[in-house]
A and B are shown apart, each in its own frame.
Chain A
């Protein structure tokens, strides 16, 4: 460690970032709580209403349906991402050229913007000219093109899930590959000598040893889904009848379409609490398991 007479030299180096974080993360966080207790419009004045906004959220049917829909999306998507991501990681954790190429290509959509990927998929899903529809018809999976984002909210949800799986499955895969590759070969060879089949080795050895990384990816994916916005804003636009509105989408609509900023702040706090509590529970789970 750099020896210096004053212990404040180090403090000097971290001060700019501290000021930045204080101004653009901590202050807005405090402001968010403050706003949530007010009736706050952009142009008109602000009026303290205590927990009025929270009561309103409790009585707001769209808030509940948006929250429920976001949970549903998360519960459908997360297992798909985990299982598919892990299977692809098992397939591509080798060192051959083809396998490495496959890994790099599966990862490409992760670095593309969610706006771009949603615009790409909403076109692929288009009922008349969408090429994903055409492909499914050509492969005789469906008899005629589907209207993915129309009157059927469930079909819309699955359309978004397909596109997001394509977009982010590579994220889990790349971390799982690192996890699988970090398992010492002696352990695997030993199990082989004991006559364990490939799937037995996966179930009894590889997956349990990757427990921490699996939990981590689950957490990151679940949080990402709980905060989903762009894919629905662009692909379903909340239709039909607000049935595909997510929590962030409803915050956005209240704050920036209706300009009910106080109410938007209240909804933000509720969502933040849900995410933070979820994270804390999962971190505790990880700690306990690794402490055994």
Chain B
């Protein structure tokens, strides 16, 4: 490389670094502001003009959020239980189905597969009206299980797709040895295959959690009793809940709480997340 080129490359890498830092600043600005405002002392978030930084550290906004209506623990419990039932539903149904599709010859297999993943093509928002009628007849609107069924229906096609892919990737030598040893098909699934598809299961669980934890319109429609609200619905309701006017400091404390489970989960499982996104996308 000539000296000139080297100098240019050096200048370019400084430029890239500068743009990256600017980008990081822009992307983090809303999150950092929300976090800083949530720890302002009472009333300070309503100051006009607003300050970027809190005058001192205070957790009173979090205390107020904790005490809101039926209490934050209940709303957290609602959100977490719906999310965990959704994870359970997706993992169990998609593992069985993925195993069946990948490892057996089934008559009309591809037709069944298409039926199972057709939900990917149908926007779930459009199915909420008939589901609402069905659930009122069954008496499961305003229940955590009911909402978890909706979330499972949203997330299942992708989960099945991913688990079929995972089971197909397991080498068949393992399987043959187990069959010779006299395993039946369920032992085969439980002992031989499940340990090999753990990354797929983690990915399915991760996506199911994020979908359910963040899902809004379904929860808005199906949970219309205050004590059944999930966190996002409760936050939107609380916007007008404080003496008719919004306390933005308390609301930002709520926003921070709603973000806390998502970001660490994503950062810890980034590897699974991106590979899951790719399998889903490349199909």
Residue from the list B30, B93, B130 in contact with A17, Cβ < 8 A = B93
Residue from the list A14, A42, A227 in contact with B97, Cβ < 8 A = A14
Q: Tell me the minimal C-beta distance from B87 to chain A in angstroms.
A: 15
Residue of B47, B128, B233 with most chain A CB atoms under a 10 A cut-off: B128
Residue from the list B96, B263, B278 in contact with A14, Cβ < 8 A = B96
Q: Tell me the minimal C-beta distance from A172 to chain B in angstroms.
A: 11
Chain B residues lying within 8 Å of A135, measured Cβ to Cβ, are 29
Residue from the list B30, B100, B126 in contact with A12, Cβ < 8 A = B100
Mark the stretch among A57-65, A72-80, A110-118, A152-160 that contacts chain B: A110-118
With contacts A223-B123, A272-B126 known, is A1 near B96, CB below 8 A?
A: no
Q: Are B23 and A116 interface neighbours, CB within 8 A?
A: no
Interface residues of B, dominant DSSP: helix
Per-residue CB contact flags for chain A residues 1-33 toward chain B (1 = under 8 Å, else 0) read: 111100101111110111011001111110110
- In angstroms, Cα B123 to Cα A12, docked, is 28
Per-residue CB contact flags for chain B residues 209-246 toward chain A (1 = under 8 Å, else 0) read: 01001111100010000000000110110010000000
Q: Does A271 contact B (CB under 8 A)?
A: yes
Q: Does A39 contact B (CB under 8 A)?
A: no
Mark the stretch among A48-56, A124-132, A200-208 that contacts chain B: A124-132
Q: Are B236 and A11 interface neighbours, CB within 8 A?
A: no
With contacts A91-B20, A108-B263 known, is A28 near B130, CB below 8 A?
A: yes
Q: Are A2 and B255 interface neighbours, CB within 8 A?
A: no
Q: Are B16 and A91 interface neighbours, CB within 8 A?
A: yes
Q: Does A149 contact B (CB under 8 A)?
A: no
Chain B residues lying within 8 Å of A16, measured Cβ to Cβ, are 92-93, 96-97
- In angstroms, Cα B99 to Cα A260, docked, is 43
Question: Chain B interface (Cβ within 8 Å of chain A)?
Answer: 16-17, 19-21, 23-24, 26-31, 33-34, 37, 45-50, 52, 89, 92-94, 96-97, 99-101, 103-107, 109, 112, 115-116, 118-119, 121-123, 125-134, 136, 149-150, 152-153, 156-157, 160, 172, 175, 179, 185, 188-189, 210, 213-217, 221, 232-233, 235-236, 239, 248, 251-252, 254-255, 258-259, 262-263, 265-267, 270, 273-274, 277-278, 281
| 18 pairs of residues in contact across A and B, judged by CB atoms under 8 Å | A25-B118, A28-B127, A32-B130, A91-B19, A101-B20, A102-B23, A104-B267, A105-B28, A113-B216, A115-B233, A120-B255, A132-B30, A134-B49, A166-B27, A216-B281, A230-B217, A255-B129, A268-B126
